[in-house]
Structure 1
Amino acid sequence: MSKTNAGHFFEDYRLGQVFDHATPRTLTDGDRALYTGLYPTRFALYCADSFARACGLPRSPVEDLAVFHAVFGKTVPDISLNAVANLGYAEGRFLSPVYPGETLSARSEVIGLKQNSSGKTGIVWVRTSGHADDGRTVLEYCRWVMVRKRDPLAPAPETRVPTLAEAVPAPGLVVPERLSFGAYSDVLAGAPHRWGDYDVGELIDHVDGVTVEDAEHMIATRLWQNTARVHFDTGARDDGRRLVYGGHVISLARALSFNGLANAQIVAAINAGAHANPCFAGETVHAWSEVLDKAETRRADVGALRLRLVATRGPAAPGDLRGEDGRYRDHVLLDLDLWALVPT
């Protein structure tokens, strides 16, 4: 009997199927340092204990997207080991800060299935939650992924396409219990622009770019224990190229957004997201944002900005997203809709 596991293929999934994912992950200060080394992140709340304490937190937490990557990585062996591509996200909420020394685990439920017309692949929708070792849920999100079939002639699972919310409603955003921006320092944060300084419809060019290297994106993907073959194995794709993990592009774009959104300290929700085109080593990632909405929170000193964060292959004019046919332009790598918490 074989003791190895080739992973799940599309015909292996069933609606309602639940996975308690293997290998809990303790996040450490080493993970935080490596995250900073891989991405040009400079958001003060995640860089300095003194800044975090001035904002009411006990110390600097682990960056929100690092928590997302750690939880996401747990799901890969069960959900996307045989993926062609990760397609999108919805209904993502960050529910509690995570601090170094805490251990995260993940659980996913299959909420949707649809075989593609070719009969060779299908789309799997899952709802994933990340849990700390004290039992609290720190993150939840939905994603959908295109997965290969083991046997193209195998019967397709029951079809169901889930209905997902267009956006997390502002009242559903979680402001960390102890967070306070009453003594917030614009000088230490790096920019004077607060919640009231942004207008709906405003476009922000984040100016800078970062060239992706094979070694870096593979180190990042290993850091999150993402085992999808397309990121490491040149034989996993017909073109022999290693696909950059979409989360790597997300973190690059988020880090680049500091230039223009330095006070958007906390990612509170991921409303939607699409990896519009593949990214490969040697390409330079740029980013721009659009302010989609603004909302008050239950805290007078904390506002929320709904942002469209777009990553592009090379510099692109803010707003240049789709062609006349409605499809993403070839240079668009990522279209991410998120809520961020900002001092008022």
Structure 2
Amino acid sequence: MSKSRSGNFFEDFKPGQVLRHGVPRTLGEGDRSLYIGLTGSRSALNTAATTAVALGLRSAPMEDLLVFNVVFGKTVPELSLNAVANLGYADARFLQPVYAGDTLTVTSEVLATKENSNGKNGVVYVRSTATNQAGEAVLTYVRWVMVHKRQTDGVAAQATPMPPLPTHVDPSRLVVPEFTQTRYVTGVTGFDDLWEDYAVGERIDHVGSMTVNDSDHSIAARLYQNTAKAHFDAHLMAQSPAGQRLVYGGHVISLCRSLAYDGLENCLGMLALNGGSHVAPVFAGDTLSCVTQVVDTYALAGEVGALRLRTIGAKNIGTAGAIALPEPGVPKPRFPSEVVLDLDYTVAIPKKQP
């Protein structure tokens, strides 16, 4: 039985512990194509190498959320194989583009742990960092996950304080690729909305909706090598409070980001994921729609600016117009039961006037 891989339970995590996740992953054009097939992404920068080269990059980079989900998947065997649920993200920064042929390696540091009052599980806070084959960091983020305890009748673990996390990634910490001739993208997308055209508080109702297919969310989790039992083991999950397998939250984020293309066509990629939470579970057969609000605008140096956005995703609610936005400044609003995702992120977008 010594070779049985049962994963880590809550008791196994200690602050300061560093976990080196196995099996580096080389990303290729097949990963890009499959990601488009699973999400319907239409990102101009990531879809055509000719567009990326015209904007100053050496080729089309991989989708930012494809990279995020692959990195996340690398961490699952050690961090969340025995998870109850992934709860949220913060302080994520995309540090440089990832291209086809790049190989990613991931490590995580445990920041804090806190046992829940029910004595059955606890929350583990970690920072994960991905590096490429040259040892250069390409992505770093914090996430917190609720993990089952191995023994529910043991002595309660002492809580360790969580270091304070920023409410958002400050513009001074954003890393922007060296874009040039960025207004070229409007001729590719057919839309002229640039940084100056977006106002703080503006609401964008995205017209599309997408039903989550059972096969698609299973393939997505396998694409990311996410082995969490909650996404694969129907027998186990039939006995859980959910009663069925959960759709991996990263797939929900990717679907909502793809739906949010409409109205944000000229975005040049995600620079930061300021924070996010999976408000409610998503199951196969649910239909997603989303709305985005402009939280802030940043006049960065050079040809591009940045938009801080908040996308709210909901299920089985019809069009995005039916989704109510939370009040500004409320960090943990009470959402109706249909809301499944609250995502705060920052994107790059060309300026009209550099």
How does the TM-score come out when normalised to structure 2?
Answer: 0.93
- Partner in structure 2 of residue 310 of structure 1: 312
- Partner in structure 2 of residue 229 of structure 1: 229
Q: Does 1:330 align with 2:330?
A: no
Q: Match for 1:121: what amino acid?
A: N
- Partner in structure 2 of residue 56 of structure 1: 56
Find the aligned partners of 2:162 and 2:243 in 1 and give their Cα distance: 32
Shift of the 28–120 alpha-carbon distance from structure 1 to 2, 3 Å rule, reads: same
Q: Match for 2:307: what amino acid?
A: L
- Partner in structure 1 of residue 165 of structure 2: 164
Between 191-200 and 152-161, the greater mean CA deviation after superposition: 152-161
RMSD of the TM alignment (CA)? Answer: 1.6
Find the aligned partners of 2:171 and 2:265 in 1 and give their Cα distance: 21
User: Hey, which bits of structure 1, 4+ residues long, moved more than 6 A?
Assistant: none
Asked if the contact 1:15/1:158 (under 8 Å) is kept, the reply is no
Q: Match for 2:79: what amino acid?
A: I
Asked if the contact 2:90/2:168 (under 8 Å) is kept, the reply is yes
TM alignment of 1:152-191, pairs within 5 A: 152-159=152-159, 160-176=161-177, 178-191=178-191
TM alignment of 1:93-112, pairs within 5 A: 93-112=93-112
The CA deviation at 1:328 is 1.7
TM alignment of 1:1-344, pairs within 5 A: 1-159=1-159, 160-176=161-177, 178-237=178-237, 238=240, 239-299=242-302, 301-314=303-316, 315=318, 316-317=320-321, 320-321=324-325, 326-344=333-351
Shift of the 318–303 alpha-carbon distance from structure 1 to 2, 3 Å rule, reads: farther
The CA deviation at 1:211 is 0.4
Structure 2: which 5+ runs fail to align?
Answer: none
Between 88-97 and 233-242, the greater mean CA deviation after superposition: 233-242
Q: Match for 1:203: what amino acid?
A: R
Q: Match for 2:135: what amino acid?
A: G
The CA deviation at 1:190 is 3.4
Deviation track 1:93-149 (CA, whole Å, cap 9, x = no partner) reads 000000001100100000011000000010000001011011000000000000011
Asked if the contact 2:44/2:185 (under 8 Å) is kept, the reply is no
Structure 1: which 5+ runs fail to align?
Answer: none
Shift of the 39–295 alpha-carbon distance from structure 1 to 2, 3 Å rule, reads: same
The CA deviation at 1:182 is 4.0
What SS class does the counterpart of residue 107 from structure 1 fall into? strand
Find the aligned partners of 2:200 and 2:326 in 1 and give their Cα distance: 20
Asked if the contact 1:127/1:141 (under 8 Å) is kept, the reply is yes
What SS class does the counterpart of residue 111 from structure 1 fall into? strand
Percent identity between the aligned chains? Answer: 49
What SS class does the counterpart of residue 207 from structure 2 fall into? strand
**Matched length:** 342
How does the TM-score come out when normalised to structure 1?
Answer: 0.96
